[in-house]
Amino acid sequence: MIDLMNVLVVGLLLGGIYSLVSIGLNLIFGVIRIVNFAQGEFVMLGMYGTFAAVSMLNMDPYLSLILTLPALFLLGVVVQRFLLQPLQNEPMMQIFATFGLLILLQNVVLALTRGAAVSINAPISSYTVAVGPIQVSLVRVVTLVAAALVALGLGWFLHNTLQGRAIRAVAQDRRAARLMGIDVERTFMLTFGIGAALAGLAGTLMTPIYTLSPQIGGNFIVAAFAVVVLGGLGSVTGAFIGGFVVGFTEAIAGFYIDPSLKHAVWFSVFIVMLLVRPSGLFGHVGAEEVGLREQH
Amino acid sequence: MVAAVAVAAAAEAQELKLGAMNPLSGALALYGDELNRGYELAADKVNAAGGVLGRKVVIVRGNASSPQEGIAAVEQLANRDKVDAFIGSYISAVASAASEAALANSKLYWDTNALAAELTARGLPNFIRSGPWSGTFASQSADATMKLIAKTLGKEPKDLKVWIEHEDSVYGSSIAKDQERLLKEAGVQVVGVGAHNLRAIDLSPSILRAKNTNPDLWIQTGYIPDTNLLLRTARDQGFKPQAMLLVGTGDTFETLEALGKEYLEGIMVVSYPRPDINAKYGPGAAEFLAAYRAKYNRDPIAPQAMAAFVGASILMETIQAAGSADMEKVKAAAAKMDKPLGTYATGFGVKFDQNFQNTRAFPVVAQWQDGKMVTVYPVEATPEGAKLADMRRK
């Protein structure tokens, strides 16, 4: 019984990590219709930003958000404006461009760090809270809470602010949105900036958990793509819930079946899901095609 | 003018060039550089004493961070730089591909650091390995379990419960398989074997499974990111086996930085012999450390550098004995070499088996003590004045 509880808690906390990483990816996909391969590298940049702030400025890892969030937001805006916007009418080229960005960012960080694995050993890394007989890592709880707040906050923003409504309008039909006087390019920049900043947030919050390497983004991104497809392309709620589906599946399979088979198990769940519901749990029917549909 | 060219050409012909096959770029560049430094220190030492066959030894660095690059680097170094032989390698996959390319150029490939069993098992006519291999890492971890850990914990082997954890590529799996076999043969209770992926986001299930079997000893063979994540998860989950033994990694600043010295205190690591080892076990280790510090202005990042230094030294002696760097002559000379354990700074001796694997090269076990690694096994390797710290997890 304690085992099961422990495994469920592990799954819940892992779900928080997956959700947080996936929400930004799904926002970008839903609005700009770009599969951003460099999203994992944005997470990685957030991690290294926090590492730099902690080791050079002696900053608290969480306080480093005041640096990583604006920096990643700005990077997202720049990438959208100067890399993706010029390729706006060539969706395939945009995907290749994000892939190129992935390789560029990885290698820049590799050149700067020479490949040494780095970690921060902040006191927060080792704090645990006892929930009954179960030990829970505080850093992971913070990540889980952040994922929930981001999902709620982003939902509120998209539904209750003018900018948020503009983003949704562009997501639904960018030509009609343009006719209504919405600056589509500016909305894209804002969206990509938010998506990148969310990746930076995920990176900063997870820095106390992991040992950083320039390739670490790739570890998250495969899972994040699965989460996005599982939850429904373009759906914030879908990415949030999808993260927990993958988290629970992985924890249960890892404990009760075999840790080395957990990916095989959740990819099986993923394939079955695609067969039964191609648009994902919360996706609109047909959303899976929209990424490659010509947009104006 | 003609005379000057002739003199330069003559000087060039006088040099003995060794092409170094290590990664200079990519994720492992830091370690590739460590190995190259080991080779260069060996060259400096031999050059100060007049070189090999009266020729000055020069290390020519090739960039080999993947098998494809390794093959390209071999071609470049063989044809453009006219190296006499190749030396490597930090990466087993590179050693495998580059040694075949070297064979196509009829050049010797001398390996000092790659661990994969298949490298020597292939019986490639130009391949010789002077350092330890995965099998010796497994046997040393099994030996230390019986002779050091069981003894310290006051248990008979049959009462000792061991969990074997490993990353799931060929590196971790092959060592874990040997560990399991050797420990079971010795009557130790292997209560479980767990495999995990190096790139896993979460390793809690691996720790929870091990924790449920309540082992006395937890052995982990892996890379740095997974080892660090497992240790952090073990700390979070309150998993405290009586002792922990890491194999291959976990002995560098990268693990110290992630876990801190208080947590690591007492944890043991099977790895390459370190410069701190006892001078009677590894004569010249202190001199190696002094030479490294003098040339590079800091301490070695990882113990691999000293194994590289020793491997290159053995190669140069063998070329001297062979009278040439020709692969057949070097092999014939290597087959005749017979030096007892404790000849070199790493404690290695030299005696090659029929596949040209050095049978007298072993890793050692070191222990984290107050944020530093101290060699604790074999007992003869323990530095003067040092002793085993309490290995029990608190």
Q: Give the pLDDT score at B171.
A: 87
Which residues in chain A have their CB less than 8 angstroms from residue B209's CB? Answer: 255, 259
> Are residues A211 and B254, on separate chains, in Cβ contact within 8 Å?
yes
Q: How confident is the model at residue B12 (pLDDT cuts 50, 70, 90)?
A: low
Cα angle, residue A88 at apex, residues A83 and A93 outer, rounded to 5°: 70
pLDDT at B70 > cutoff 50: yes
Q: Six-digit token pair at B252?
A: 């560098």
Structure confidence at residue A189 (pLDDT): 96
pLDDT at residue A291 greater than cutoff 80: no
* % of chain B surpassing 70 pLDDT: 97
Residues in chain B with CB shorter than 8 Å from the CB of A254 are 202, 204-206
Q: How many H helices and E strands in chain A?
A: 12, 2
When pLDDT is cut at 50, 70 and 90, the band that residue A232 belongs to is: confident
Q: Does A294 touch chain B (CB under 8 A)?
A: no
What percentage of chain A carries pLDDT values higher than 90?
A: 66
| Beta carbons of B242 and B346 less than 8 angstroms apart | no
B25 vs B384, which has greater pLDDT?
B384
pLDDT of B69 higher than 50: yes
**Which of B201, B203, B301 is most worth mutating to test chain A (most A CB atoms within 10 A of its CB)?**
B201
Residues 6+ apart with CB under 8 A from B152: B243, B388, B391
Averaged pLDDT of chain B:
94
More confident of the two residues A97 and A288: A97
pLDDT in tens, A116-164: 889 998 888 888 888 888 889 999 999 999 999 999 999 999 999 999 9
Distance from CA of A197 to the nearest CA of B (A): 21
pLDDT, residue A115, reads: 79
**Where do the DSSP E strands lie in chain A?**
128-131, 134-137
B258 touching A, CB under 8 A?
yes
Instruction: Among A121, A215, A259, select the one facing B259 at the smallest CB separation.
Output: A121
The two tokens of residue A256 are 């009760």
Q: Which has the minimum average pLDDT: A7-11, A236-240, A282-286?
A: A282-286
Q: Is the pLDDT of residue B89 over 60?
A: yes
Cβ of A17 within 8 Å of Cβ of B202? The answer is yes
Residue of A4, A141, A220, A260 for testing the chain B interface, max B β-carbons within 10 Å: A260
Q: How far is A37 from chain B (nearest CA, A)?
A: 18
> Is B155 an interface residue toward A (CB < 8 Å)?
no
**Which residue of chain A comes nearest to B301, CA vs CA?**
A116
Tell me the per-residue pLDDT of B137-160, one tens digit each, with 9 for 90 and over. Answer: 999 999 999 999 999 999 999 999
B206-265 per-position pLDDT tens digit: 999 999 999 999 999 999 999 999 999 999 999 999 999 999 999 999 999 999 999 999
CA atoms of B135 and B300, how far apart (whole Å): 25
> Quick one: pLDDT at residue A233?
81
Helix (H) or strand (E) holding A132: none
Residue B243 has a pLDDT of: 97
- Give the pLDDT of residue A133: 83
Residues of B whose CB is below 8 A from A250: 202
Are B197 and A17 an interchain contact pair (Cβ–Cβ within 8 Å)? no
Q: Name residues 215-254 of chain A within 8 A of B (Cβ).
A: 215-216, 218-220, 223, 250-251, 254
Interface of B with A in 186-215 (CB under 8 A): 194-197, 199-206, 208-209, 212
Chain B residues in contact with A211 by the CB 8 A cut-off are 224-225, 228-229, 254, 258
pLDDT of residue A91: 84
Q: What letters, b where the CB count within 10 A reaches 16 and e where it falls short, cover B343-378?
A: bbbbbbbbbbeeebbbebbbbbbbbbbeeebbbbbb
Q: Does A219 sit within 8 Å of B199, measured CB to CB?
A: yes
- The closest of B386, B164, B383, B374 to B261, measured between CA atoms, is B374
Cβ within 8 Å, pair A213-B201: no
User: Which of A 19-78 lie inside 8 A of B, CB atoms?
Assistant: none
Q: What is the structure's pLDDT at A296?
A: 39
| pLDDT value of position A294 | 38
- Enter the ipTM: 0.90
Q: What is the pLDDT of residue A121?
A: 82
Mean pLDDT of B52-59: 96
Nearest to B30 among A116, A211, A262 (CB): A116
The pLDDT-based confidence of B351 (bands split at 50, 70, 90) is very high
- The Cα of A243 is separated from the nearest Cα of chain B by a number of Å equal to 13
pLDDT of the residue at A89:
86
pLDDT band per the 50, 70, 90 thresholds, residue B10: low
Tokens encoding A72: 């990643």
Among B168, B201, B209, beta carbon nearest to A220? B201
A290 pLDDT higher than 70: no
Amino acid B4: pLDDT: 56
A290 and B CB contact within 8 Å: no
Identify which of B204, B238, B263 has the shortest CB distance to residue A251.
B204
Task: Name the token pair of B371.
Answer: 């944020």
What is each CA distance from B73 to A270, B82, B125, in whole angstroms? 42, 12, 20
Residue B154 touches chain A, beta carbons under 8 Å: no
pLDDT recorded at residue B5: 55
Q: Which pLDDT score, from 0 to 100, does residue B3 have?
A: 56
Contacts of B201 in chain A (CB under 8 A): 14, 17-18, 219-220, 223
What values do phi and psi take at B204, rounded to 5?
-55, -45
Q: How far is the alpha carbon of B227 from chain A, nearest alpha carbon, in Å?
A: 9
Q: Which of residues 52-111 of B touch A (CB under 8 A)?
A: none
Give the pLDDT confidence score for residue A122 in this predicted structure: 80
**Gap from B63 CA to chain A (nearest CA, Å):** 14
Strands B243-247 and B268-271, how do they pair?
Answer: parallel
Q: Which tens digits make up the pLDDT trace of A240-258? A: 999 999 999 999 999 999 9
The percentage of residues in chain A with a pLDDT greater than 70, rounded to a whole number, is 96
Give the residues across from B85 on adjacent strands: B18, B108
Looking at beta carbons, which residues of chain A come within 8 Å of B212? 3
Chain B residues close to A209, C-beta within 8 Å:
229, 232
pLDDT tens-digit map of A178-212 = 999 999 999 999 999 999 999 999 999 999 999 99
Q: Is the pLDDT of residue A295 over 50?
A: no
Q: What is the pLDDT of residue A281?
A: 84
**Chain A residues 132-171 with CB within 8 Å of chain B:** 135-137
pLDDT of residue B131: 96
B117-140 pLDDT per residue, tens: 999 999 999 999 999 999 999 999
Q: Mean pLDDT across the stretch A210-228?
A: 91
pLDDT of residue A88: 87
Nearest-angstrom CA–CA distance, A140 and A197: 19
Does the pLDDT value for residue A285 go beyond 80?
A: no
List CB contacts (< 8 A) between B235 and chain A. 126
CA distance B220 to chain A (A): 14
* Residue A288 reports pLDDT greater than 70: no
B366: its two tokens? 């070191």
pLDDT tens digit sequence for A48-67: 999 999 999 999 999 999 99
By Cβ distance, the residue of A110, A135, A223 closest to B27 is A110
Confidence of residue A114 (pLDDT cuts 50, 70, 90): confident
User: What pLDDT is stored for residue A113 in this prediction?
Assistant: 86
